[in-house]
Structure 1
Amino acid sequence: MARTALRGFAALLTTVATLVAAVPARADTLRIGYQKYGTMVLLKARGTLEKRLAPQHVTVQWTEFPGGPQLLEGLNVGSVDFGVTGETPPVFAQAAGADLRYVAYEPPAPTSEALVVQHDSTIHSVKDLKGRKVALNKGSNVHYLLVRALREAGLDYGDIQPVYLAPADARAAFERGSVAAWAIWDPFLAAAQKQLHARVLRDGTGLVDNHQFYLATGDYTKRHPEVLEAVVDEIRKVDVDVHDHAEAVTKQVAPLLGLPEDITLLAVQRQGYGAATLSPQVVATQQGIADTFTALKLVPRKLRIDDVVWHPGGSNGVVAAK
């Protein structure tokens, strides 16, 4: 099963090749992968990172991905230097041998992901999912949420029928009734609640932290620690603005996401803000996620998360940032 999971992850290479132009980046280009949520959308729109890096003669190239697993395959094949994902994709990427480093993380946001069902569904508890089809993006943050929610309900992962679909395809399957439930994150979750009147069966409260992680290639952390420090600093500035002015920021973000303001505001309010380098507690939590998937035989070997955490000036050979 572990080999099958990793083969599925590796199969995303073809998808990534269509998303990212196969043109070698210049040495002074920082290639960022982002998704349609979170701080990075606003950072891209504001252009403040480009201004910050201009004195270092570094330009920025942005590529949007449909989910964390696809983004990290971009990092794995050398098309991306830096990106943001949920907590589960880095585990699968590390298991697949990707050269990645955890650079920073955002505070917990457990309500920004959930298992949802149709508003008139006869399913009223996670336990009712036994034998049913559940849509999710394989290897994404909601993969871990689903595992934890099933365990809480006294079910094993094998008790449900996982249907692995990217968000757009999963929504279509959910609307048709081809799946009984959908495990999804914001802003897709907020859109499902507002537009489809989807009912939350279980969100992450008390189950998962749902951290967002900023990641870079190991090679980039060694060669450009000062660039990464600048990136994290600019992310923190946007975080403060979003936290303090959620409604005003929503008006900026909504057109970028192509979503109505009420949906965008709900997603913005549920996100965690305050990027920081990883604490021992966060590393331990992430280690627990990795161990869970190892126990499920979805990854083939025990992983050490601390082996792939960026330690400026430490064991990963990174020169201390100034």
Structure 2
Amino acid sequence: MKKKTITIVGVILTTLTLTACSKKDETHTAASQDKENRSEIVLRIGDQKGNMRAQLEASGVLKGIDYKINWYEFPAAAPVAEALKVDGIDLGYLGDAPFLFANANGGTAKAIAVYKSDPYPVALLVRNDSSIQSAKDLKGKTVTANQGSIGQLVTLRAVEQAGLKATDVKFRFLPPADGKLAVANGSVDVWAVWDPYTAYAELKDHFRIIANGRGLYSGYTFLAATDKSLQEQQKRKSIQDFIYRLKQSQEWATQNADEFGQEYAKITGLPEDVGKLAFKRRNASWEPIDADVIKTSQETADFYTKHKLIKQQFNVSNSFDTSFKVK
């Protein structure tokens, strides 16, 4: 009787062990398959002046990722928005105003995380010898900016705050480098731009700020993704991981401001003093998309509609995906 009992117990234990091993193997196989699938994922990411890439590479948080990243460098937000529109990239880094401007004109990308920073460096600059001292002196002047950019937004709000009309200024739409040259040679009066261009112009080109973005601009920059990339399950997982690492890199950069300022300058090719100034005055952090971000964005879109930059009322709610987390 004892032998039979032992035999039966032995069979039961063996069966349980085999079942457990089978489940473990299944889990391991699933995990391995997921990792293998992720290793085939390529995220095509559009950046501006190395902003995201500089932090990620300097902090080292990209080590060990199980997907690939192809970086695309853009001089401003407008070409980033265009690349998102035609699925030329999966993710893009761009200010709220150009993002909303693009989506109101046929774009379908979704903002999935927000970079909140001090809006001061989004500014209106003039040559040191200019007679323009403040936004009140802009009547009859010409301003260069990218169409639909945060530079144009800040200009219009500064003009309005100064008691002038939007029609009191003329816009000449040029990319940043051409805009600076136009002001330098006197063919345009004011350059509306953002860091690191602002920092470089202050420190190296002897330009001065006559109005800054505080009280005029949200300070929001979005990480936006195409609908196509968000619909691919494995790519979506990689995007979520990328957001986590963005947050980690920002925290590292904040804690190591001097070190990162030097690295930022090297990665972007900027002089060290420019890189340090551009980074330190951001006081920035990556955050999730929430109701306040959407509300503020609606106000921005309404402002553009008021000034006929957006042709008709635009509901921004479909331009956001609030499901992504930011640690």
What TM-score range do you get, normalising by the shorter chain? 0.7 to 0.9
CA contact (8 A) 1:35 1:41 kept: no
- Please give the alpha-carbon distance, in whole angstroms, between the structure 2 residues aligned to 1:99 and 1:215: 10
Instruction: Give the secondary structure class of the aligned counterpart of 2:264.
Output: helix
- Please give the alpha-carbon distance, in whole angstroms, between the structure 2 residues aligned to 1:278 and 1:311: 5
Instruction: Give the secondary structure class of the aligned counterpart of 2:131.
Output: coil
Aligned to 1:173: 182
- Please give the alpha-carbon distance, in whole angstroms, between the structure 2 residues aligned to 1:182 and 1:81: 31
Count of residue pairs the alignment pairs up: 286
CA contact (8 A) 2:59 2:252 kept: no
Pick aligned residue for 1:31 from 44, 56, 60:
44
- Please give the alpha-carbon distance, in whole angstroms, between the structure 2 residues aligned to 1:271 and 1:124: 25
Superposed CA deviations along residues 115-143 of structure 1, whole A, max 9, x for unmatched, are 01111211112121111111112122111
Instruction: Give the secondary structure class of the aligned counterpart of 2:70.
Output: strand
- Please give the alpha-carbon distance, in whole angstroms, between the structure 1 residues aligned to 2:153 and 2:50: 19
Following superposition, the deviation at residue 45 of structure 1 comes to 5.9
Q: Does 1:217 align with 2:219?
A: no
Instruction: Give the secondary structure class of the aligned counterpart of 1:145.
Output: helix
Aligned to 1:293: 304
Aligned to 1:196: 205
For residue 221 of structure 2, what is the amino acid of its counterpart?
A: Q
Q: Does 1:255 align with 2:266?
A: yes
**Further displaced range: 40-49 or 251-260:** 40-49
Aligned to 1:241: 252
Instruction: Give the secondary structure class of the aligned counterpart of 2:136.
Output: helix
- Please give the alpha-carbon distance, in whole angstroms, between the structure 1 residues aligned to 2:198 and 2:265: 15
1:76 to 1:68, Cα distance in 2 relative to 1, 3 A: same
For residue 77 of structure 1, what is the amino acid of its counterpart?
A: V
- Please give the alpha-carbon distance, in whole angstroms, between the structure 2 residues aligned to 1:50 and 1:163: 43
Following superposition, the deviation at residue 213 of structure 1 comes to 0.8
| RMSD of aligned residue pairs (Cα, Å) | 2.0
- Normalising by structure 2, we get a TM-score of 0.83
1:306 to 1:164, Cα distance in 2 relative to 1, 3 A: same
Pick aligned residue for 2:70 from 53, 58, 61:
61
Unaligned runs of 5+ in 2: 1-38
Aligned to 2:139: 130
- Please give the alpha-carbon distance, in whole angstroms, between the structure 1 residues aligned to 2:196 and 2:117: 16
CA contact (8 A) 1:106 1:274 kept: yes
Where in structure 1 do 4 or more consecutive aligned residues deviate above 6 Å? none
Instruction: Give the secondary structure class of the aligned counterpart of 1:31.
Output: strand
Pick aligned residue for 1:43 from 56, 59, 62:
56
Instruction: Give the secondary structure class of the aligned counterpart of 2:191.
Output: strand
- Normalising by structure 1, we get a TM-score of 0.84
Instruction: Give the secondary structure class of the aligned counterpart of 1:230.
Output: helix
Instruction: Give the secondary structure class of the aligned counterpart of 1:256.
Output: helix
CA contact (8 A) 1:240 1:273 kept: no
Superposed CA deviations along residues 59-115 of structure 1, whole A, max 9, x for unmatched, are 111111111110110011111000111111111111121120010001232112100
Give the share of equivalent positions with the same residue, in percent.
31
Aligned to 2:14: none
Q: Does 1:105 align with 2:133?
A: no
Unaligned runs of 5+ in 1: 1-25, 314-319
For residue 56 of structure 2, what is the amino acid of its counterpart?
A: L
Following superposition, the deviation at residue 48 of structure 1 comes to 3.7
CA contact (8 A) 2:114 2:287 kept: yes
Q: Does 1:95 align with 2:67?
A: no
Instruction: Give the secondary structure class of the aligned counterpart of 2:64.
Output: helix
Q: Does 1:265 align with 2:273?
A: no
Aligned to 1:5: none
